Amino acid sequence: MRHLIDPMDLTVQEIDELLELADDIIENKEKYSKVCDGKKLATLFFEPSTRTRLSFEAAMMELGGNVLGFSSSDSSSSAKGESVSDTVKVVSCYADIIAMRHPKEGAPFLASLKSDSPIINAGDGGHNHPTQTLTDLLTIHREKKRLGNITIGFCGDLKFGRTVHSLVKALSRYENVNYIMISPQELEIPQYLVEEVFEKENITYQQVRTIDEVIEQLDVLYMTRVQKERFFNEADYVRLKDTYILDMPKLKNAKEDLSILHPLPRVNEIAVEVDDDPRACYFRQALYGKYVRMALIMKMLGIEKPQ
Cis peptide before 7 (omega within 30 of 0): no
For the bound state, the minimum distance from the C-beta of residue 98 to ligand CP, rounded and expressed in Å, comes to 16
Q: Rounded to whole angstroms, how far apart are CA atoms 207 and 198?
A: 12
80 a catalytic residue: yes
101, 165, 250, 293: the active-site residue: 101
Q: Rounded to whole angstroms, how far apart are CA atoms 297 and 300?
A: 5
Binding ligand CP by CB under 6 A: which of 11, 83, 94, 265?
Answer: 265
Considering beta carbons, is residue 59 or 254 the nearer one to ligand CP? Answer: 59
Considering beta carbons, is residue 52 or 112 the nearer one to ligand CP? Answer: 52
Using an 8 Å Cβ cutoff, are 165 and 196 in contact? no
- Using CB under 6 A as the binding criterion, the count of chain residues that bind ligand CP stands at 9
For the bound state, the minimum distance from the C-beta of residue 224 to ligand CP, rounded and expressed in Å, comes to 10
Q: Rounded to whole angstroms, how far apart are CA atoms 300 and 295?
A: 9
Using an 8 Å Cβ cutoff, are 62 and 136 in contact? no
Stretch touching ligand CP by CB under 6 A, among 73-81, 201-209, 259-267, 270-278: 259-267
Q: What residues contact 190, with CB distance under 8 A and at least 6 apart?
A: 159, 165
3, 40, 129, 225: the active-site residue: 129
230 a catalytic residue: no
Q: Rounded to whole angstroms, how far apart are CA atoms 95 and 42?
A: 6
3, 39, 40, 51: the active-site residue: 51
Q: What are the residues facing 182 on neighbouring strands?
A: 155, 208
Stretch touching ligand CP by CB under 6 A, among 2-10, 74-82, 86-94, 257-265: 257-265
Binding ligand CP by CB under 6 A: which of 132, 166, 183, 224?
Answer: 132
Considering beta carbons, is residue 132 or 259 the nearer one to ligand CP? Answer: 132
For the bound state, the minimum distance from the C-beta of residue 263 to ligand CP, rounded and expressed in Å, comes to 4
3, 39, 43, 52: the active-site residue: 52
Residue 271 φ then ψ, to 5°: -65, 145
**Using CB under 6 A as the criterion, what x/- string covers residues 101-130 for binding ligand CP?**
----------------------x-------
**Using CB under 6 A as the criterion, what x/- string covers residues 45-74 for binding ligand CP?**
----xxxx----------------------
129 a catalytic residue: yes
Stretch touching ligand CP by CB under 6 A, among 44-52, 109-117, 191-199, 299-307: 44-52
Considering beta carbons, is residue 140 or 215 the nearer one to ligand CP? Answer: 140
Considering beta carbons, is residue 51 or 299 the nearer one to ligand CP? Answer: 51
Positions touching ligand CP (CB under 6 A) are: 49-52, 123, 132, 263-265
**Enzyme catalytic residues:** 51-52, 80, 101, 129
